[in-house]
Amino acid sequence: MPYADLRAFLHRLEACGKLRRISKPVDKDWEIAAVSKVAFERIPEPQRAALMFERVQGFDIPVVTGALGSSRSIYCLVLDCDVGDVQRKWADAELRPLAPKLVSAGPAQENVCKGDKVDLTRLPIPTWTVGQDPAPYITSGYVITADPESHIRNVGTYRVQLKGPNKLGLFINYLQGGRLHVEKNHQLHQPTPVAIVIGADPVIGLVSVSRLPQDMDELAVAGALRGEPVDVVRCRTVDLEVPATAEIVIEGVIRANEFESEGPFGEYTGYMGPKAMSYIVDVQCVTHRSRPIFQAFISQMPPSESSCIRSMGREATLQKHLAEDLGLPVRDVHLLEAGGAAAFLVISMKKNHPVQPRTAMCGAWSYAPQFGKITVVVDDDIDIRDVNSVLWAISFRVQPERDVLTMPGMAAVSLDPSQAPPEVPQEDISRRVSSKLGIDATRKHAFPAVAAPPKEHLDLVRKNWQSYGF
Ligand SMILES: Cc1cc2nc3c(=O)[nH]c(=O)nc-3n(C[C@H](O)[C@H](O)[C@H](O)COP(=O)(O)O)c2cc1C
Ligand SMILES: [Mn+2]
């Protein structure tokens, strides 16, 4: 049974012991960020839970963080599958998307505030990097736009700065789906209708943070992932549709060809992302459920919820591309969380031709140009989720002159602070171009046997482990 909404999923998390309710009153302007961060650092990954801040001082709306990706097992609960099935689930959903179903009414519009009644300061939007972010930020908006020509919808999560009771700043980086829609409208000197969804069936959150082909409707992929179409309702003031069971929906328009300073913002790289000249959203309507829940993603320094949810979905779609579309003998792909699930990519393969490692690198770089600034290819005996194992392969299966390549003039990892100092504007072209490093750490010839006690001896000792006094 798919989750009907965010609430149904939170109930499931609670039943699995993966929702922690915090009843102590908290200040949204520093405490939610700090408690979420300490929870991330104190609680080992397998035991991490979503955090429900029930009493946010000055607001009657609770805030939930870590609901979709404070651990891999929570991510798997969203998809309702085992870790080993995540990639298959994504691949199937992309092959057989299921279009959303338009319904005439939904709880997302139980309450409607239009025009003068709109007041975004009544939402408990947290401040994250206190003293550095200029304002509160919505970190888990599912930003919906439509292509002005094809009308194909895009859903993407982009940072949203609170600028006033009915004004937001929206940062959509280059190469992103939503940005293409805005740029097409800019060419025509028209504003871009936008709907920002906060809190919905968690599967919608996962497609929102995942890069899918531009002609693919993320809500249709969400439908396939959940096994039933997503019910959508028409927005009240813009020509868009939103999930019918969303908690909160902000409707507005992105001004045509107007930009305003937005940021800096504490980013997924673990550094402050520079100020940018970003889009301006004039908000004309807010709809919400009765007793809505405000959801936020935990980002900043990896590992974070942001790096967890990005890595799992990105790995799945990249694996499918390399193995199924290109037919390469790729076994596993991993975007290290230390690299914000973007900068550092490792691919394992059962190579049967010496050019395949480089083919895999090029395949990854062309499919996802901003990822894998450092890309390492290893043989399939290496567990690429074990950093030590990867570094072992790099140490002893690589001859730098023969096996390392750099490729200039490639796309940059977004917001990579090694590109340029903070004073260089975000829009500067130098921030978009980067070189790539490829390391072929597969064996190029027969290798000596691995030096370890014979397997039968190790198995015997493992069996009798306690007899050695451990
Ligand atoms: C917490 C979080 C915050 C994000 N913030 C931004 C952002 O501000 N701008 C941006 O371009 N991408 C941001 N992303 C990445 C996009 O969500 C991701 O690239 C996604 O694929 C975008 O959807 P699209 O491919 O349909 O454009 C963020 C992701 C997460 C998980
Ligand atoms: Mn997209």
Cβ(172) – ligand 1 distance below 6 Å: yes
Around 180, how many Cα atoms within 13 Å sit in the side-chain half-sphere? 16
Q: What is the pLDDT of residue 291?
A: 97
CA count, 13 A, side-chain hemisphere, 212: 28
Q: How far is CA 397 from CA 322, 333, 343, 390, in A?
A: 23, 19, 22, 10
Any atom of ligand 1 within 6 Å of the Cβ of 171: yes
Q: What is the CATH number of domain 6-296?
A: 2.30.110.10
Distance CA 170, CA 116 (A): 21
Q: Kindly give the distance from the C-alpha atom of residue 157 to the centroid of ligand 2, in angstroms, as a whole number.
A: 10
Q: How far apart are CA 7 and CA 16, in angstroms?
A: 14
Contact (Cβ atoms closer than 8 angstroms) between residue 112 and residue 243? no
What confidence score (pLDDT) does residue 201 get? 98
Which pLDDT value is given to residue 84? 86
Decide whether any atom of ligand 1 lies within 6 Å of the 159 Cβ: yes
Three-class HEC string of 292-354: CCEEECCCCCCCCHHHHHHHHHHHHHHHHHHHHHCCCCEEEEEECHHHCCCCEEEEEECCCCC
- Dist. CA 293–CA 353, nearest whole Å: 53
Give the residue extent of every domain in the chain.
6-296, 326-440
Ligand 1 centroid, distance to 9 Cα (angstroms): 22
**Which ligand ends up closest to the CA of 313?**
1
Pocket-testing residue among 157, 271, 371, ligand 1, by greatest number of atoms within 8 A of Cβ: 157
> Is the bond into 229 cis (omega within 30 degrees of 0)?
no
Classify residue 450 by burial, with Cβ atoms within 10 Å: 0-12, 13-18, 19+: exposed
Among the bound ligands, the one closest to the CA of 206: 1
Do 415 and 267 meet the contact criterion of CB atoms below 8 Å apart?
Answer: yes
Contact criterion met (CB below 8 Å) for 339 and 322 = no
Q: Please state, for a pLDDT cut of 90, what percent of the chain lies above it.
A: 91
Taking the CA of 269 as reference, the closest ligand is: 1
Number of the ligand 1 atom closest to the C-alpha atom of 178: 27
pLDDT digits (tens, 9 = 90+) for 322-377: 999 999 999 999 999 999 999 999 999 999 999 999 999 999 999 999 999 999 99
| CA 302 – CA 295 distance, rounded (Å) | 19
**How far is it, in rounded angstroms, from Cα 151 to Cα 146?**
5
- pLDDT tens digit sequence for 17-62: 999 999 999 999 999 999 999 998 899 999 999 999 999 999 999 9
Residue nearest to atom 18 of ligand 1 (CA): 209
Count of C-beta atoms within a 10 Å radius of residue 150: 11
The protein residue whose alpha carbon is closest to atom 6 in ligand 1 is 158
pLDDT of residue 349: 98
Query: Taking a C-beta distance cutoff of 8 angstroms, is the pair 298, 306 a contact?
Result: yes
- pLDDT given for residue 87 in this prediction: 85
Contact 103, 232 (CB under 8 A): yes
Q: 160 Cβ partners below 8 Å, 6+ apart?
A: 137, 138, 139, 141, 143, 168, 169, 170, 171, 196, 281
Residues (pLDDT < 70) of the chain are: none
Ligand 1: nearest atom to the Cα of 299:
1
| Cα 457 to ligand 1 centre (Å) | 50
Task: Please indicate whether residue 300, judged by its CB atom, sits closer than 6 Å to ligand 1.
Answer: no
| Burial class of 190 by CB neighbour count within 10 A (0 to 12, 13 to 18, 19+) | middle
From CA 465, how far away is CA 33, in angstroms rounded?
44
Distance CA 66, CA 305 (A): 6
Alpha carbons within 13 A on the beta-carbon side of 375: 27
pLDDT, residue 426, reads 84
Residues with Cβ within 5 Å of ion ligand 2? 154, 177
Model pTM greater than 0.85? yes
Atom of ligand 1 nearest to the CA of 310: 31
Q: Which two tokens stand for residue 96?
A: 């057989």
CATH fold of 326-440: UbiD C-terminal domain-like (3.40.1670)
CA distance 211 to 156: 8
